[in-house]
Chains A and B, each alone.
Chain A
Amino acid sequence: MKKQDDRWFRLFTGIVAASVLVIVVGIAVTLVHGSWLSIRRFGLAFWTTRTWDPVAGQFGALPFIWGTLYSSLLALLLSAPVALGIAIFLSELSPRVLRQPLVFLTELLAAIPSIVYGLWGMFVLVPVVRRLEVATPDWLRQVPLFSGPPLGVGMLSAGLVLAVMVTPFTAAVAREILKAVPVSQREAAYALGATRWEAIRLALHYGRTGIIGAVMLGLGRALGETMAVTMVIGNNPQVSLSLFAPQYTMAAVIANEFTEAADDLYLHALVEIGLVLFVITIVINTLSRLLLWRVSDKAGAVAPVAAPAAAAA
């Protein structure tokens, strides 16, 4: 009797686990099928050309790929130090009274819908960024990173909104990881006469695989974020290094143009953008997984959390 139970249970969970694979393959097949016209017409040039002209039927995804990677990496750079700071404070330094309210608040940030972040970005953040851009001295404007008209909307606003959205995720996971560092490690450090800071550094070192995983979780969320980004990024498909320039992301162009795309090639080009996003997400996840393996091999430390799958649009 018991044995049979086990068998059924194994079969059931096996089927459920296999369904994940079926879904991923299914998504890939659907995306390729739905973008076939565009794949045949543009081939690899789709990845490397900059024209996006629905009227002329010319489609290239480079500006969207650029915008997605740029905004996500920017968000990563801005959010990682803050998230780590939050995690360290909460797990190591915070007085007991403060800890629970602060944990609750960070989790609350994660629960806010992205459209609300978008509205906040548009009406609060963008005017602040615009003032900052207007105040930028002319000599700094000559630097490619800060060139362009002071519009407020653009890459900087998008990176900032994304950073705020990503921080609670990274912070929550990083905090769990620091909590998982054995007390014996810290005690050993203190026993050797380490200061607080040195002990924390040791804990960070011990959990670094997991912390990289936490940061990658943030990157995954940033890659697929749509609504909040499209409201502040300026939606102009161009490849620009400037933080002030309006740019565009893959998820945003799909959300913006899909409903009104009436002719077939246009529709297929939009689906191919989805395919590109899918491929890039897989590549980044694979890279982060490889990174984790390398780090954990060297350190021999456990990785409490692996890099989670990115939330693709």
Chain B
Amino acid sequence: MNPSVPRFLVLWAALAVACSGGGAPSGGASAPPAAAESPSAAPGQINGAGATFPNPIYSKWFAEYNKLHPDVRINYQPIGSGGGIRQLINQTVFFGATDSPMTDEQLQSAPAPIVHLPTVLGGVVPVYNVPGVSAELRFSGPLLADVFLGKVKKWDDPAIARENAGVKLPATDIAVVHRSDGSGTSFIFCDFLSKVSPEWKQKVGASTSVSWPVGVGAKGNEGVAGLVKQTPGSVGYVELIYATQNDIAYVAVKNPAGKYVKASLESVTAAAASSIDTMPADFRVSITNAPGADAYPVSSYTWILLYAHPSDKERARIMVDFMKWALTDGQKYAPPLGYAPLPEKVVGLEFEVLKKIG
């Protein structure tokens, strides 16, 4: 007469067993790069995770590619570069994505060789809000570093005036705004400052999160843009598209050729093109402070990470086909979303590498 309670218990126990079974480690992690997904999943389903910066263009690419190849479904989780690298090393995703190249240490901790494939380019711009100044401001790298180090504290500092002759600057305090969340944008910006300022390199360095000497942290590009926009006397840094979309003034930055260059899709691509001769075979390159006369100095590639010889040959083939499309036809989707397309020479080099994947 009373089976209801025990049955409920049995159900509950069965559920618990099922859950613990699902969570058990898959084992055999020492095997060569295995496919992330369970074998029963359709081969056209590929999972990736990583950087948030290229997420808009990647989402666009995966959606457009799915229209052309309805059987291919690529899922991308923008969990951050660090998380993407970790998941790729643990083989819980088929591909990763990052804004800063993997370190030698990270590559060694992976179970098999990993290749870096540049996908698009981005530029980081120092934005400012100085009431009463309508002229465009110009900053050299060392000056920018001194502002973010807290050494230049006021807008009418002679160091700023020297580079901006003829601009009348107010005697207000400079309020520095930086990212509070770990981000590739911060890495690119700090990487540039480390190259142009020995003091920055020694005191702060370059990473997705650093110990900022001064200023307040805001979350995300939109957070920095929002705070700079509403705080008189502030200076920050965001990805190019956030400055143009929010209509915030951004500075022209002096490049190694001695020219003050404003960020644009052209000047970012020019930075990549001008540093092509020094491009290493594994594409792990920083193109901040690039030498070309028209090169914008705070530029960077963003990369997709793949195992060189995945055990899942079927998925590898699909991914290589996708990459070839993304590097050619897919590039046209980049400019409307604020990314600079790759120089053709880089695409050619990548095709050589893609041939060997599988």
Q: Is B19 an interface residue (CB 8 A)?
A: no
Q: Is A51 an interface residue (CB 8 A)?
A: yes
**Structural contact, B216 and A8, CB atoms closer than 8 A:** no
Complex interface: stretch among A24-32, A184-192, A253-261, A297-305: A253-261
Shortest CB distance B230–A (Å): 6
| A152 nearest in chain B by CB position | B231
Interface residues of B in 199-255 (CB under 8 A from A): 204-212, 215-219, 223, 226-227, 230-231
Q: Which residues of B contact A43 (CB under 8 A)?
A: none
Q: Is B181 an interface residue (CB 8 A)?
A: yes
Q: Is A123 an interface residue (CB 8 A)?
A: yes
Total A residues in contact with B, Cβ cutoff 8 Å: 40
Query: How many contacting A-B pairs (Cβ < 8 A)?
Result: 110
Interface residues of A in 1-46 (CB under 8 A from B): 1, 4-5, 8-9, 11-12
**Structural contact, B208 and A149, CB atoms closer than 8 A:** no
Interface residues of B in 272-299 (CB under 8 A from A): none
**Structural contact, B217 and A55, CB atoms closer than 8 A:** no
Q: Is B129 an interface residue (CB 8 A)?
A: no
Q: Is B256 an interface residue (CB 8 A)?
A: no
Shortest CB distance A151–B (Å): 6
**Structural contact, B226 and A262, CB atoms closer than 8 A:** no
Interface residues of B in 166-220 (CB under 8 A from A): 173, 175, 180-184, 204-212, 215-219
Q: Is B311 an interface residue (CB 8 A)?
A: no
Known contacts A54-B210, A123-B226; A259 and B216 CB within 8 A of each other: no
**Structural contact, B211 and A55, CB atoms closer than 8 A:** yes
Q: Is B68 an interface residue (CB 8 A)?
A: no
Q: Which residues of A contact B206 (CB under 8 A)?
A: 55
**Structural contact, A259 and B80, CB atoms closer than 8 A:** yes
**Structural contact, B219 and A230, CB atoms closer than 8 A:** yes
Q: Which residues of A contact B257 (CB under 8 A)?
A: none
Which residue from A5, A12, A55, A151 sits with its C-beta under 8 Å from B231?
A151
Q: A residues within 8 Å of B by Cβ? A: 1, 4-5, 8-9, 11-12, 51-56, 122-123, 126-127, 130, 149, 151-154, 230-231, 234-236, 246, 248, 252, 255-263
Name the 6 nearest CB pairs between A and B, nearest first.
A260-B182, A235-B217, A259-B80, A235-B180, A262-B82, A55-B205
Q: B residues within 8 Å of A by Cβ? A: 1-2, 5-6, 8-9, 12, 52, 79-83, 85-86, 105-106, 173, 175, 180-184, 204-212, 215-219, 223, 226-227, 230-231
